[in-house]
């Protein structure tokens, strides 16, 4: 039904049109609209983990440090300077004299409250819990923030947690259940969130109190689309001004449009399969309904050998990616990137994959499907993907074919974003799932998503796991790299962690997609990527592109710039759209809000 409605909406939009974005008049608000094919999972920065959510948090809140726009190395943000003790256990940050968007002063108490809450509240650990696991204590005195560590920590200057206003958030009761839907929000970054309509849009306005000065535009809107095809239509028609994270077919659909600039650079994302290898909660209790065969490393190894990654790059990614002969850190980060070579490399080899399963006792039945060594269950796995995502459908087709050659049946299970996140990150109701991560310049955060502590509690709180992984060797390496202050030696430890993920295969990296984006040059006059040389626009590891973005200013324009880009045209066209929707509702007997 959702696909039927999406098709109806596309027809209606083409027939009616939406109010297109226009170049701003000199005396009217300058608005830039960004399209996203992913909606917010939460406006609460303690809870939100989706890329669109963390991007909006970067644009609205301050951090201790931010990546430098040229080098991606840590640079001052709310912390204007810092010192550390000779033993590396005590860090003192000087919080700059600045204001929250409501005019209240920003102090070290705000940072101390944020980190202490993350240390003591399971709900507050959801998004960035590992960032404070090594903290022994956090105290504040005036503008001085002092953090005492349990052991030296190399990533101290790359803490991913936004600093929250204590005077607002200390009044919140249960952070795990707080939706943060109070507007305008109190923030300290370039923008202030002023409106959010679930699954439709978020509206941000320039923060006049921002310590660097207000952005060059007045308003930034993020418009959510159900599927990439609709978002591409929106960009071409001028309903939005910029669209990132494009799939290759959608990127190529922009060719030849004189108003659209195509953006193709090396990306910061890794795409991989998440394997339910026997999920457990943080207290080591089994959870979910994963297939027991996937607990066997031999089965996971066989699956890895059955994937032709170059074929996936050529056919699924249209050549606009790099095969992942490594793990979850993309080649963009050369210091930390690892890939298998020689005998360690798991190459595409169906004969070898079949041999591994034969030797492990998984026999084929008369129907060609293998069974468990004890004969108790056939090797029939579910593959969880997102609804209305053609590129994932295509991936599923290839995997289904290859796995069939092994005697493994693969059935595709399509889920909306919320259900997908729940089943693959909390309830573990899956066998194999598509997944991926946009990696920061310091990869500690993505590595931390595979720690024992990232598994959810029995009640479903905390978490943020990408694999339900809990491996002593991986844990030990993680602790070692935390303490290693020599960058080269630390990189070596991180590469060992990547190798462990590669060989044990709780996840199987498929490819590293290029950063594919498009923006309208008749609406955006200039925008600076991060890093500034061959960098990323939407989804980059900092706020820089959307702090520097400038809108085209026209001598005259027919429209102002404050609509959300979702308002359909007036007159007869609107009547046609209303009639189509009414017909849809009558046929299906449901309100539009129930269409999932």
CATH class, domain 18-265+516-551, is alpha beta
Assigned CATH topology for domain 269-513: Dipeptide-binding Protein; domain 3 (3.10.105)
Domain edges within the chain: 18-265+516-551, 269-513
CA distance 242 to 232: 10
- Judge if pTM exceeds 0.95: no
Round to whole Å and give the CA distance between 527 and 533.
12
Torsional class of 382: left (φ above 0), alpha (ψ -120 to 50), beta (otherwise) = beta
pLDDT tens, the chain, 596 aa long:
333 333 434 333 333 334 455 566 667 899 999 999 889 999 999 999 888 999 999 999 999 999 999 999 999 999 999 999 999 999 999 999 999 999 999 999 999 999 999 999 999 999 998 899 999 999 999 999 999 999 999 999 999 999 999 999 999 999 999 999 999 999 999 999 999 999 999 999 999 999 999 999 999 999 999 888 899 999 999 999 999 999 899 999 999 999 999 999 999 999 999 999 999 999 999 999 999 999 999 999 999 999 999 999 999 999 999 999 999 999 999 999 999 999 999 999 999 999 999 999 999 999 999 999 999 999 999 999 998 788 999 999 999 999 999 999 999 999 988 899 899 999 999 999 999 998 989 999 899 999 999 999 888 776 689 999 999 999 999 999 988 989 999 999 999 999 999 999 999 999 999 999 999 999 999 999 999 999 999 988 889 999 999 999 875 334 444 444 443 233 333 333 333 333 333 323 322 222 22
Tell which residue, 360, 374, 359, 358, has the closest CA to residue 407: 358
- Exposed e or buried b per residue across 416-441, where buried means at least 16 C-beta atoms within 10 angstroms of its C-beta: bbebbeebbbbebbbbbbbbbbbbbb
In degrees, to the nearest 5, what angle opens at C-alpha 224 toward C-alphas 514 and 324? 20
Do 200 and 224 form a contact (C-beta atoms < 8 A)? yes
For residues 155 and 162, give the distance between their C-alpha atoms in angstroms, rounded to a whole number: 15
**Contacts of 114 by beta carbon, 8 Å cutoff, 6+ apart:** 161, 162, 163, 164, 166, 169
For the chain, how many helices (H) and strands (E)?
16, 21
Residue 83 near residue 96 (C-beta atoms within 8 A): no
- Calculate the alpha carbon distances from 338 to 244, 311, 330 in Å: 26, 21, 8
Residue-wise over 564-581: b if at least 16 C-beta within 10 A, else e? bbbeebeeebeebbeebe
Radius of gyration, alpha carbons of the chain: 24
């Amino acid at each position: 039904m959702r696909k039927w409605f999406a098709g109806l909406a596309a027809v209606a939009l083409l027939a009616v049109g939406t109010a297109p974005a226009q170049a701003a008049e000199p005396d009217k608000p300058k608005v830039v609209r960004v399209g996203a094919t992913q909606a917010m999972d939460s406006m609460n920065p303690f809870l939100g983990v989706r890329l669109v959510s963390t991007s909006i948090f970067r644009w609205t809140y301050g951090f201790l440090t931010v990546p430098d726009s040229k080098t991606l190395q840590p640079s001052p943000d709310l912390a204007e300077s810092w010192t550390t003790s000779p033993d590396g256990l005590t860090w003192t940050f000087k919080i700059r004299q600045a204001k929250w968007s409501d005019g209240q002063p920003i102090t070290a108490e705000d940072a101390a409250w944020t980190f202490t809450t993350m240390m003591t509240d399971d709900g507050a650990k959801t998004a960035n819990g590992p960032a404070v696991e090594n903290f022994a204590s956090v105290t504040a005195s005036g503008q001085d923030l002092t953090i005492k560590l349990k052991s030296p920590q190399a990533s101290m200057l790359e803490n991913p947690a936004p600093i929250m206003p204590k005077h607002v958030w200390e009044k919140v009761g249960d952070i795990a259940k707080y939706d943060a839907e109070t507007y305008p929000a109190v923030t300290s970054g370039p923008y202030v969130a002023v409106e959010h309509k679930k699954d439709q849009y978020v509206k941000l306005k320039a923060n006049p109190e921002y310590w660097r000065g207000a952005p060059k535009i007045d308003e930034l809107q993020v418009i959510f689309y159900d599927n990439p095809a609709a978002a591409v239509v929106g960009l071409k028609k001028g309903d939005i001004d910029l669209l990132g994270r494009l799939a290759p077919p959608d990127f190529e659909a922009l060719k030849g449009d004189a108003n659209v600039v195509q953006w193709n650079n090396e990306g910061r994302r890794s795409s991989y399969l998440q394997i339910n290898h026997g999920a457990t909660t943080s207290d080591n209790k089994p959870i979910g309904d994963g297939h027991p065969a996937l607990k066997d490393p031999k089965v996971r190894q066989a699956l890895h050998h059955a994937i032709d990654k170059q074929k996936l790059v050529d056919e699924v990614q249209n050549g606009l990616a790099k095969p992942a002969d490594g793990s979850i850190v993309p080649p963009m980060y050369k210091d930390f990137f690892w890939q298998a070579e020689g005998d360690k490399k798991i190459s595409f080899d169906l004969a070898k994959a079949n041999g591994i399963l034969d030797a492990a006792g998984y026999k084929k039945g008369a129907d060609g499907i293998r069974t468990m060594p004890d004969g108790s269950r056939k090797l029939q796995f579910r593959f969880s993907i997102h609804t209305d995502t053609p590129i994932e459908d295509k991936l599923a087709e290839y995997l289904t074919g290859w796995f069939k050659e092994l005697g493994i049946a693969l059935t595709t299970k399509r889920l909306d974003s919320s259900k997908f996140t729940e089943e693959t990150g909390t309830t573990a109701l899956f066998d194999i799932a598509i997944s991926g991560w946009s990696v920061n310049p310091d990869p500690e955060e993505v590595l931390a998503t595979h720690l024992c502590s990232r598994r959810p509690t029995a009640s479903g709180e905390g978490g943020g796991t990408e694999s339900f992984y809990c491996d002593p060797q991986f844990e030990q390496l993680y602790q070692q790299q935390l303490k290693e202050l020599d960058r080269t030696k630390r990189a070596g430890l991180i590469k060992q962690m990547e190798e462990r993920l590669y060989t044990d295969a709780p996840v199987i990296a498929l490819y590293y997609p290029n950063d594919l984006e498009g923006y309208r040059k008749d609406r955006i006059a200039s925008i600076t990527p991060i890093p500034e040389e061959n960098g990323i626009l939407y989804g980059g590891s900092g706020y820089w592109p959307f702090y520097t973005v400038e809108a085209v200013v026209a001598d005259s324009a027919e429209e102002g710039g404050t609509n959300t880009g979702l308002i359909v045209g007036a007159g007869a066209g609107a009547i046609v759209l209303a009639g189509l929707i009414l017909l849809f509702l009558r046929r299906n007997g449901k309100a539009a809000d129930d269409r999932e």
